[in-house]
A and B are shown apart, each in its own frame.
Chain A
Amino acid sequence: ETGVTQTPRHLVMGMTNKKSLKCEQHLGHNAMYWYKQSAKKPLELMFVYSLEERVENNSVPSRFSPECPNSSHLFLHLHTLQPEDSALYLCASSQWGAEQFFGPGTRLTVL
């Protein structure tokens, strides 16, 4: 058990759908992250939140919209995605500056 949970674990959506990914951390950390992991590509950082404030937006298209209502929860809202957005989306948390703990990921397929 890593202390970071993600739901759903698998998601299939059409290009016109709106869905949200949820992440929750039970470790008392003050920073949370969204990563994208595509086949044969390195893990890509998407967003970083510190104390519920977004501090990094790595040139991610606006069809991905993060939300961090409190230090334990992080959402990724998805809207009008493209097939190339199909990937594993990983959430992580940490104390600022320390090692990051990852959740199990959401496997997203966009049809």
Chain B
Amino acid sequence: GQNIDQPTEMTATEGAIVQINCTYQTSGFNGLFWYQQHAGEAPTFLSYNVLDGLEEKGRFSSFLSRSKGYSYLLLKELQMKDSASYLCAVKAAGNKLTFGGGTRVLVKP
């Protein structure tokens, strides 16, 4: 079976750093994706990790540890527009993505 856990909600201040954790237990692993979804909009791709380590992309970084079944998304220099849901998704067999419930991040001034 597939199980992906991430916190439901996080609050942070503008300019700060927030780390969103994702743990997973899946049958098979072919990579982990992070998506951002603003309310009422489509999810948009943020990052993809298939090997252990940190991938940095501007203010956003994503980390993966396959042996621990663990990933995090790090958002730096938070801006008000970063208020959104962040979805962790694991690609197992074939091309099938299984999503976590999403973490709603609220950025306060």
Q: Which residues of A contact B (CB under 8 A)?
A: 2, 4, 31, 40-45, 48, 50, 55-56, 90, 94, 96-97, 99-105
Contact = CB atoms under 8 A, between A and B. Distances in A.
Nearest to A41: B101
Contact of B43 (A44, A96, A97, A102): A102
A24 to B, nearest CB: 14
Interface residues of B, number: 21
Contacts of B44: 2, 102
Contacts of B20: none
B87 A43 contact: yes
A96 to B, nearest CB: 6
Given A50-B95, A56-B94, A99-B48, A2 B102 contact: no
B45 A104 contact: no
B42 A102 contact: yes
Contacts of A102: 35, 42-44
B45 A55 contact: no
B94 to A, nearest CB: 7
B33 A99 contact: yes
Contacts of A43: 43, 87, 89, 99
Contacts of B43: 43, 90, 102
A23 to B, nearest CB: 11
A20 to B, nearest CB: 20
Given A42-B102, A50-B95, A55-B94, A100 B87 contact: no
Contact of A42 (B30, B33, B99): B99
A101 B99 contact: no
A62 to B, nearest CB: 21
B45 A100 contact: yes
Contact of B42 (A2, A41, A99): A2
